[in-house]
Structure 1
């Protein structure tokens, strides 16, 4: 009986969420997995970066200075040269993630923004459009 009540409660809670909320949660979960496989080695699981080699993503000015469209291009194409984060210069090399598709990047950006920026989904359509404009 308790098991049946528990199942009904879960169904009730899930039915109260909008499609957008469910999609947002899915993007965050998938994005976390992509981050752990492709980014955490350098930027660390908690986004703290790696000393003077790789910049932090957590608690940084990146989320107000770098547009999501630019972030998409950096993720896909990599980055060479100097970048400033919280006033500190980093001259490392970020490799391109050429195998990531638009949906992967949308989920990754959503996860990062959820963790260290704002709580807004970065959609597949936005990522696809941004990829078309990368130089």
Structure 2
């Protein structure tokens, strides 16, 4: 999971804007106004790229903005950024049970202190993930 930036083509419609990402199949959305279209574009971009990551699909390189063909004078290109880790945190946070093994003495000491094993494991995993970036 990572941070990405892709060019999106915005087209002003009679009511709002349509948005599509030429580098990503099926990645399009719309918005009632420009601000709404940008928010919706960030969301659909994160959704599609998160899906690519989960399925192990190759993530295409973003096109250079100046290489994109615009179909009308109503069209313009805007870069859209997203973070699939943040997307996953918001949309995929159901609890998953894990079994682990620790030495008996460590278990007894932690139990005596009232340690919340799930919390400690989550904190340690987040620390490890952040250190790996």
Larger Rg: 1 or 2? 2
Q: Which structure has more strand as a fraction of its residues?
A: 2
- TM-score normalised per structure 2: 0.26
- TM-score normalised per structure 1: 0.26
